């Protein structure tokens, strides 16, 4: 196998992942999605690190990725706890809600117009129903309502 070509291919893929994550971090407003994008950037770095490790025949790349995963887990724990707290305080996951922390006298960012909500956006991911729906016992229903 052409090791140099392999490294090059992996670096491009890592760079793309990193770039996409960065882009997502900057353009999305949902805190959870932003955090997710940050994880994606870590993935890009991980891919590059693994590729370099192989290219140099060294364990360092993989070690680095192990620690990245560990730190990402810790980060996820803290960050999600924080996000939950922020949500409790504000009732929204919108990052722009916290723009109060801007410098005094700066004009606030105001949404210019929210696009129409489409039907498919409103749908939760669902699983295809499987098996047979059991028959509902009317008597039991009545009985339960008396409990």
Partner 1 sequence: MDDSLSKLLILIPAFPLAAAIIIAITGPKLLKQWSHVPVIVALVASFICSLGLLNEVRRRSASVDREHSGLVHAGFEHVVNLWTWADIHEAYELPGVSYGNSEISILDQGTRDFRIDITLRADALTAIMLSMVTFISTLVAIFGAGYMHGDRGYWRFFAYIGLFVFSMTMLVSVSNFILLFVFWEAVGVCSYLLIGFWYEKPEAAAAGKKAFLVNRVGDFGFALALFLIWTTYGTLNYHDTRADGETDPVLVAQAMETQLAGDAPGDNDSLVVRGVVGRWRVAANDYATGGVALAICLLLLLGACGKSAQFPLHVWLPDAMEGPTPVSALIHAATMVTAGVYMVTRCTPLFMASPEAQLTVACVGAFTALLAGLIAMTQYDLKRVLAYSTVSQLGYMFLALGTGTVVGISAGMFHLFTHAFFKALLFLGAGSVMHAMGNVIDMRRFGGLRKLMPTTHATFMIGCLALAGFPLLSGFFSKDSIVAAVHDRVHTIEHELDHRDSHEMHGATVDSGHAQHEAAEEGKAGSPLASWDHDQLHRFAVVYQWLYYSAMFTAFLTAFYTFRAFYMTFYGKEVIPHEAGHHAHESPPMMAWPLMVLAVCAALAGFSLDRTIIEGPNSFGTFLLQTPSLADGAAAATFEPFKFHKNVAGTSGAIAIVAILLATYMYLGHQREIEWIRRLMDFEQFGKWFDVESVSRWKEVAWVKQLHTAAQSVRLGWLTAGIGNVILLLALIAATPFMLGHFVSPYKLSLGKFFIDEIYQLLIVLPLRGFAVVCYAIDRWIVDGFVNLVGRIPLLAGGLMRSLQMGLVQFYALAMVLGVLVLLVARAVLAAG
Partner 2 sequence: MTALLLAQTVLAISSPMTWGIGVGTAGLALRLAPQVAWQKLGLLLALIGIALIGVALPPLGEALPQVLFWLMATLAVLASGAAVTSRSPVYAAIWFAVSLLGTAGLFLLQGAQFLGIATIVVYAGAIVVTFLFVLMLAQPEGHSPYDRISWAGFAIPMAAIGVALVIGMLVGSLPDFAPVGPPSEVLHEEHVARLGGQLFARHLVSVEVVGTILLVALVGAIAIVIQGNPRRKPLVQESEAGR
Near partner 2 in 26-45, by CB under 8 A: 26-30, 32-33, 35-37, 39-40, 43
- Residues 24, 37: contact at Cβ < 8 Å? yes
Task: Note whether 9 binds partner 2 by CB under 8 A.
Answer: yes
Minimum Å gap between C-beta 97 and partner 1 is 10
Segment near partner 1 (CB under 8 A); pick from 21-29, 42-50, 56-64, 72-80:
21-29
- 92-111 positions binding partner 2, by CB under 8 A: 92-94, 96, 111
Which positions from 72 through 131 interact with partner 1, judged by CB under 8 A?
A: 95-96, 98-103, 105-106, 109
- When the beta carbons of 104 and 117 are compared against partner 1, the nearer one is 104
List contacts with partner 1 (CB under 8 A): 22, 25-27, 29, 34, 95-96, 98-103, 105-106, 109
């Amino acid at each position: 196998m052409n090791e140099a070509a392999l490294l090059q291919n992996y670096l491009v893929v890592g760079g793309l992942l990193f770039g996409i994550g960065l882009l997502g971090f900057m353009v999305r407003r949902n805190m959870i999605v932003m955090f997710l994008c940050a994880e994606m950037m870590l993935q890009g770095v991980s891919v590059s690190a693994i590729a370099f490790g192989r290219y140099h025949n060294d364990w360092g790349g993989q070690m680095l990725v192990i620690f990245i995963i560990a730190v990402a887990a810790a980060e996820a724990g803290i960050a999600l706890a924080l996000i939950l707290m922020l949500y409790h305080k504000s009732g929204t996951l919108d990052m722009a809600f916290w723009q109060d922390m801007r410098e005094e006298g700066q004009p606030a960012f105001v949404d210019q117009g929210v696009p129409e909500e489409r039907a498919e956006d409103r749908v939760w991911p669902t699983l295809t129903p499987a098996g047979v729906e059991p028959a509902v016992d009317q008597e039991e229903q009545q009985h339960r309502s008396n409990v």
